[in-house]
Structures are given as structure tokens and as C-alpha cells.
Chains A and B, each alone.
Chain A
């Protein structure tokens, strides 16, 4: 069955061979790194339907972090795609989405946590790996703790809102090789958890690796 959704798909001219950053993040692992102003950063969903929980920070001021609510209010729309300007809590532009071959990404579904897994699925999930564990582990390297974790982006995840005020987790719109690319408007830190969730369809029930590519002058 196909869903009749018309999504804007925009490809990037940048070539992987020319990238200065090229790393693969295993299923359930994370990444933290710096993207210099003007640099481009791509996340490739290698196997399809893999949620990539992502946070951006002003590299010079961690309190000036990505704000999901400010971003979607200022663009007037709940979903992120090419052209979306990802804003900080102080309304500063952190990054702009410059290419998107998936078409639509969530920023209202939050990240999974061991504790919220208990709420959603029951006590048997309390000790399963979760995104918040990865955020805290990788965040600690750069001074990002629990208080600094804002509401994240879920690249490649499909969380439709409806006019009656309901919200659902739907099957992904992504597929193997789909990617999202952003360009940094200032020096930013990117903090990623490659989602290990096994209890809902956000990773197609089988978490898989993603590839990170970066283009900037060193």
C-alpha cells in the first residue's frame, strides 16, 4: 500500500568522495562533533526507516541550543524538510536543511529513554538501551548534561499530527540511501543517537547503521 503524500525531494550536489568527514554510526551508537560555519553535514539512512535522534548546539554557547518549538512555530508548520531553518532558543539560526531525499522529518516525538520506555511499553523495557543514554554518554564529552538536553529532531521518522489534535507514530517514509543535509549558519555541535528502539516501528523493528558525511575546509 502506498500513501498519497506529495513530498518535496531535493538532492545535494556534494559528492561523498570529497567529504572531509565520513563515519558510520552503528545501530544504537552515537556521535558528537563540530560543524564549522558554512560546512555541510549529511546523514544517510543506509538501510531505510532508521530514526536518527539529533540535537544541535551553538558551539560557543551550549545554552543556545536547538529549540523544536521555536523552529516549528516560526516556520508555521510541524514537519521539517528542505528550507527549514533550525533555530535556537534565542531564535538564532543554527543550521538550514539544504537537501532532503526523504521529504519529511519529525521534531515533536522526542527521544526514547529507559524511563519513558517503561511508561510506553512496561517495566520489562526498563533496562533496554535508549536514545537518552546515548545523548548523555556522548554529550558528557562536550559538557552537555541532562539539563542541556532539549527536544530533539527525529530525522527519517514519521509522526503525523491530525487536525483533530491526535498524534501517531506511522510507518517511515524513508528508504535505503535516503539522506538529509544541513548547512551550518555558525559553528555548531551536533549530538546524535542512532535510535536503538525495538518496541515500535520507528526503526522498522530492526535498528541499522547510518553514515555521516561532512564537507568543509579544514
Chain B
């Protein structure tokens, strides 16, 4: 184990992850959500592109063994495993307007339990890395599910994740993760959960790896990641 860190409920965090390593996220509470932006660490503009990731793999959700792809068509990371087959990536992250619903909250009144949105957390962490609002892009809401009706309507499923649910991501290039454990923006209640992040050395993988063989598109994105800095 290279690193283990508990992100408390309704908090935010960032992580630079070296290519080849494995990031495991574990929900420590039922209903936990980990809204996550992913950037190429060595590139000022390349970042997770949710629409490209979805259309290349004909999916409207994130699940193993999908490859998460960047604006410039490279694999950022592979979803090597998960106890859940659905992680939302269509409905964005919470803003202050969502978390203010139960009433005003501030550090002065609530100390470190004050309610902060995923937007607050994302911008706080982005600024630490010299980034800002222009770097906001579609995120993955790990552990969250928003069901899709036949007519395209959305319904948030608050009991999707239970304590112990997990997902593992293999970095295909050096990455920056920006995470928030604020509740999902469609959640009707303020019930944030904590998430543990663990980094382990990855294992070498070959042409029979499930993410490599998943689809020709996944194969090509992984090949592009190997040539990011030729």
C-alpha cells in the first residue's frame, strides 16, 4: 500500500497518481458519492471527456472494464473492477444552490461540519493545482446511480451504494484526480458519506486484459495513452 486516505463525508481532496498504479475507492457509508474530475497530470488542458468515453463504448454509465478517455482521445484510466455495475456520469456535481436547501450553513455556525457543495470543493482543489473554473468538465459520480426512463427521464436512486462498495481504477498515464464527497445534486436529503482512497502498485498487464479486449475503441485509446509523450 502506497497511500491510504479517508475523505470524510462532504469533504474534498485531490490526488496525483502515477501511471500504472491502482486507485481503490471504497464507500464507507451507505449513499456515499465521490464526484470526480480527472486530468492528465502532465498536460495543461487534457482531461476526462465523458461524452467521448460513453459514445466510444456505447454506454450511458461507468462500469468495468470501461476505459475513461480524454478530450484528446487517450486512455486516462481503466475501470478494472467494481462491486457496482453503474456509476453515474450524466448529471454533474452539486452546486451551492443544492446544498443550501436545508438552510444556511457556515464555518462560523457549524465549524467543520458546514455544508459545502462539490463545486466549492472542486474549485478549492483545482486552485491548489493552478487550475480554475475553465477546468470544470463532466465528472463521474462514483457510487451514484441515476436511472434512465424509456423517455430519457432521470430518477436518482438514493440507496444504490452500501458501505463497502468499491471501484478500482488503473492509471494509464500520470493523472490528477479532484474529488468531492458532497451529496449527489439530485439527492433530496443531506446525507453525505465518507470514502476511503487507497493507492497500490499496479500489475503489468497484457493483450488479454479485460479493458484492452473490451472493444476496439478501448484498445485504441489505451494505445494512444502509451504514446502521449513519445
Instruction: Kindly name the residue among A79, A89, A161 whose own CB sees the greatest number of chain B CB atoms within 10 A.
Output: A161
* Chain B residue with Cβ nearest A150: B137
Q: Is B91 an interface residue (CB 8 A)?
A: yes
Q: Assess whether A151 is in contact with B51, with CB atoms less than 8 Å apart.
A: yes
Segment at the A interface, from B145-153, B191-199, B200-208: B145-153
Q: Which residues of B sit under 8 angstroms from A115, Cβ to Cβ?
A: 71-74, 224
Partner of A166, one of B44, B59, B92: B59
Q: Is B142 an interface residue (CB 8 A)?
A: no
Q: Is B86 an interface residue (CB 8 A)?
A: yes
Q: Is B138 an interface residue (CB 8 A)?
A: yes
Q: Which residues of B sit under 8 angstroms from A205, Cβ to Cβ?
A: none
Q: How far is the CB of B67 from chain A (nearest CB, A)?
A: 9
Q: Assess whether B55 is in contact with A73, with CB atoms less than 8 Å apart.
A: no
Q: Which residues of B sit under 8 angstroms from A120, Cβ to Cβ?
A: 55-56, 217
Q: Assess whether A77 is in contact with B151, with CB atoms less than 8 Å apart.
A: yes
Instruction: Mark out the residues of chain B between 128 and 155 whose CB falls within 8 Å of any chain A CB in the assembled complex.
Output: 132-139, 147-154
Q: Is A9 an interface residue (CB 8 A)?
A: no
Q: Which residues of B sit under 8 angstroms from A150, Cβ to Cβ?
A: 137
Q: Is B176 an interface residue (CB 8 A)?
A: no
Interface residues of B, count at CB 8 A: 48
Q: Is A142 an interface residue (CB 8 A)?
A: no
Instruction: Mark out the residues of chain A between 56 and 90 whose CB falls within 8 Å of any chain B CB in the assembled complex.
Output: 62-63, 67-70, 72-73, 76-79, 89-90
* Chain B residue with Cβ nearest A163: B148
Q: Assess whether B148 is in contact with A118, with CB atoms less than 8 Å apart.
A: no
- SS class, residues of chain B in contact with chain A: loop
Bound complex: CA of A159 vs CA of B69, how far in Å? 19
Q: Assess whether A89 is in contact with B136, with CB atoms less than 8 Å apart.
A: yes
Bound complex: CA of A124 vs CA of B132, how far in Å? 36
Q: With A165-B86, A169-B55 given, is the CB distance from A78 to B148 under 8 Å?
A: yes
Q: Is A167 an interface residue (CB 8 A)?
A: yes
Q: Assess whether B154 is in contact with A78, with CB atoms less than 8 Å apart.
A: yes
Q: With A63-B133, A72-B154, A116-B69 given, is the CB distance from A108 to B45 under 8 Å?
A: no
Q: With A119-B224, A163-B150, A165-B61 given, is the CB distance from A68 to B45 under 8 Å?
A: no
Q: Is B16 an interface residue (CB 8 A)?
A: no
Bound complex: CA of A117 vs CA of B132, how far in Å? 28
Bound complex: CA of A93 vs CA of B59, how far in Å? 29
Q: Which residues of A sit under 8 angstroms from B135, Cβ to Cβ?
A: 147
Interface residues of A, count at CB 8 A: 44
Q: Is B52 an interface residue (CB 8 A)?
A: yes
Bound complex: CA of A122 vs CA of B91, how far in Å? 30
Q: With A77-B151, A162-B148 given, is the CB distance from A72 to B91 under 8 Å?
A: yes
Q: Assess whether A72 is in contact with B90, with CB atoms less than 8 Å apart.
A: yes
Q: How far is the CB of B167 from chain A (nearest CB, A)?
A: 15
Bound complex: CA of A79 vs CA of B50, how far in Å? 16
Instruction: Kindly name the residue among A89, A116, A147 whose own CB sees the greatest number of chain B CB atoms within 10 A.
Output: A116
Bound complex: CA of A67 vs CA of B73, how far in Å? 21
Q: How far is the CB of B122 from chain A (nearest CB, A)?
A: 11
Q: Is B108 an interface residue (CB 8 A)?
A: no
Q: Is A109 an interface residue (CB 8 A)?
A: yes
User: 4 closest A-B pairs (Cβ-Cβ)?
Assistant: A110-B51, A115-B73, A69-B92, A78-B152
Known: A68-B51, A113-B71. 12 other contacts (CB 8 A): A73-B92, A78-B153, A89-B133, A108-B50, A110-B52, A113-B73, A115-B71, A116-B49, A119-B73, A163-B147, A165-B60, A167-B55
B residues apposed to A, CB below 8 Å: 44-45, 49-52, 54-56, 58-61, 63, 69, 71-74, 86, 90-92, 95, 97, 132-139, 147-154, 185-186, 216-217, 220-221, 224
Would you list 7 pairs from A and B whose C-beta atoms are within 8 A, ordered by A residue? A69-B90, A73-B90, A108-B90, A115-B73, A118-B220, A147-B134, A162-B60
